[in-house]
Amino acid sequence: MKIGLIGLGIMGKPMAKNLLKAGYDLTVNDLNQDAVAEIAAAGAKTASNAEIGETCDLVLTMLPNSPHVKAVMLGEDGVAAHMKPGSVFIDMSSINPVASKEIAAELSKRGVEMLDAPVSGGEPKAIDGTLSFMVGGKQEVFDQFKSVLEAMGSSVVLCGDVGAGNTTKLANQIIVACNIQAVAEAFTLAQMAGVDPKLVFQAIKGGLAGSTVMNAKGPMMIAGNDKPGFKIDLHIKDLNNALDCAHTVGAPVPMTAQVQEILQWMHNHEGGQKDHSAIAQYYEHLTGIQIGR
């Protein structure tokens, strides 16, 4: 089986390396030719998007948002125009589920099946191959290609038809964003009340308040480390998709809207390229303190 991967950013590059480690025949492309060269040095072939469509049995994308996936797949001389009937497309990007369904409908006309399979876990889990995949599509297509996703992730779950993967990812991103905000707010309270946030973290991480989010992001807040594992601007994109989807189906999401305003404030104050744990800096701005320092 020949696999093509388009998109070698923070997430796509380590995911490509894990596919190579698993022994897959991989061809890659990206606008960033330095990233392409790095993955080629690790053993991948390189080709244009059109060539990937022509030569690969399975095409993967890991791109920023809906317009990018649509442009790559369905735009002028897009990948879909070169894919053979019977080939499969798996979009691992986090996009609006409405867009996933639209892309799937167009591919179906060409005899191409699709799964939407966004991931959670950020750069660290992309590197060590323990991402969580939330997948939408047909059971038989999922069963056929689950092992490919398992080369990059430790959890691969079919959530429903096409679009269900990205709907699940939106739910995931709401929970992550609200959790990060809660951790930042709680650490701010603790420090302003005279209690060391480091000790608060040690005391509560094993209880009901403990979470994977707090374990990953709490120490970053305390250390003032805002090196991006997942950028604020990308989380803004995901929450915009969540709000759009919620408005479409009539779901109430007031907490999501509030966190989005904080993230947008960070973007407007040169924080868009920082890790989403830098939400803590919003509270530091309001209070004049530095959490844990």
- Residue-wise pLDDT tens digits, 233-262: 999 999 999 999 999 899 999 999 999 999
Residue 292 lies in a domain: no
CATH code, 192: 1.10.1040.10
**Which whole number is the average pLDDT over 210-218?**
96
User: What is residue 173's three-state secondary structure?
Assistant: helix
What's the domain count of the chain? 2
Q: 0.75 cut: is pTM over it?
A: yes
Same structural domain, 188 and 138 = no
Q: Quote the pLDDT of residue 196.
A: 97
Helix (H) or strand (E) holding 159: strand 153-160
**Which whole number is the average pLDDT over 55-67?**
96
Same structural domain, 71 and 17 = yes
Residue 48 pLDDT class (50, 70, 90 cuts): very high
Same structural domain, 195 and 272 = yes
Same structural domain, 197 and 137 = no
Same structural domain, 46 and 31 = yes
Q: Quote the pLDDT of residue 230.
A: 87
**Which whole number is the average pLDDT over 8-27?**
97
Q: Are 37 and 9 in contact (CB under 8 A)?
A: no
CATH code, 9: 3.40.50.720
Same structural domain, 240 and 259 = yes
**Which whole number is the average pLDDT over 195-217?**
97
Same structural domain, 205 and 275 = yes
Please state, rounded to an integer, the average pLDDT across all residues of the chain: 96
User: What is residue 46's three-state secondary structure?
Assistant: strand
**Which whole number is the average pLDDT over 25-49?**
97
pLDDT at 152 over 90: yes
Which of 145, 162, 179 is where one domain is finished?
A: 162
pLDDT at 211 over 90: yes
Same structural domain, 27 and 81 = yes
Q: Quote the pLDDT of residue 49.
A: 97
Same structural domain, 100 and 6 = yes
Q: Which of 125, 169, 217, 274 is labelled catalytic?
A: 169
Residue 178 C-beta-side C-alpha neighbours within 13 Å? 13
Same structural domain, 30 and 115 = yes
Assess whether 125 carries a catalytic annotation: no
Give the integer Cα–Cα distance in Å for 30 and 34: 9
- Residue 107 structure tokens: 């591919």
- 233 lies in which domain range? 167-287
Same structural domain, 279 and 155 = no
User: What b/e string do you get for 176-215 counting C-beta neighbours within 10 Å, with b at 16 or more?
Assistant: bbebbbbbbebbbebbeeeeebbebbeebeeeeeebebbe
**Tens of pLDDT along 78-124?**
999 999 999 999 999 999 999 999 999 999 999 999 999 999 988 88
